Amino acid sequence: MISCVYAMIETSTFKFLRDLKQNNNRRWFEEHRGEYEAARANVLDVVDRVIAGIAGFDPPIIELDPVDCLFRIHRDVRFSANKVPYKIHFGAYMTDRGRNADRAGYYVHVQPGACMLAGGLYFPPARELKAVRQAILDDSASLRRIISRPRFVKLFGRTLPGRRLKTAPRDVPRDHPDIDLLQLTSFEIWTDFQDSRLRQKNFADQAAGVFEAMHDYVHWLNRALDRFRAPSSSIVAHK
């Protein structure tokens, strides 16, 4: 794994986010745009170094531009009752095909008191969900080997935490041996990080280490999607 030392979230970045939470309006934001730009630049620098670390075990990631991985801080309020204009966190999502692809990937979340490192697939669309369920039906054993590894369990828990159906998917018997996996509708995993860890000089290196522990899980999910999209694929729908 490539070393990513001296890449950390600055105290000033946390301060900006705390202040934004208390002053979430356009006038305040414009008056403090310089602080926002500095905080954004800090996060981009960290994401750039995290990308370099991930590339040590997931080489296609090296092609990513950190700017393309960082989500906008502006909220889309067009269809929301909550008209607060800005997010109170920075988030960056990295996949082997860019941020906007329907792919499993790696996520950094910077928010005072709620920082985390996450990955996997977050509420995949119906077609992608069907692909993952088909892969579970075809080969759940390889997935179970990955999610039962000691380091994976230590970081992400013994049970995949994503939201799940209360009953079995259509055409799947309720007593199916893999019902716990087939009920999932979201395949994200995460580990919480204290703010103080993000302020450590080797935070980016720590993040890459966590992402390395989830790499095989991410790869398993993406293989399921790739097989579904292949011209010769014949996926049976299970929903």
Within a domain: 5 = no
DSSP state for residue 188 in the 8-state scheme: E
Residue 129 lies in a domain: yes
Evaluate whether residue 238 is within a structural domain. no
Is residue 239 in some structural domain?
Answer: no
Report phi then psi at 190, rounded to 5.
-160, 165
Residue 234 inside a domain? The answer is no
In a domain, 168, yes or no: yes
Residue 83 lies in a domain: yes
Quote the pTM value: 0.90
Q: Is residue 2 part of a domain?
A: no
Residue 24 vs residues 16, 91, 109, 230: alpha-carbon distances, Å: 11, 17, 19, 46
- For 8, counting Cβ atoms within 10 Å of its Cβ (0-12 exposed, 13-18 middle, 19+ buried), the class is buried
Specify the number of domains making up the chain: 1
The boundaries of the domain holding residue 98 are 11-229
pLDDT block averages, 10 residues each, the chain of length 239 = 66 98 97 98 97 95 94 88 92 84 92 98 94 96 98 96 94 94 97 97 96 98 86 37
Please enumerate in sequence order all residues whose Cβ is within 8 A of that of 30, keeping only pairs 6 or more positions apart, or say none. Answer: none
- Rounded to an integer, what distance in angstroms lies between the CA atom of residue 168 and that of residue 183? 6
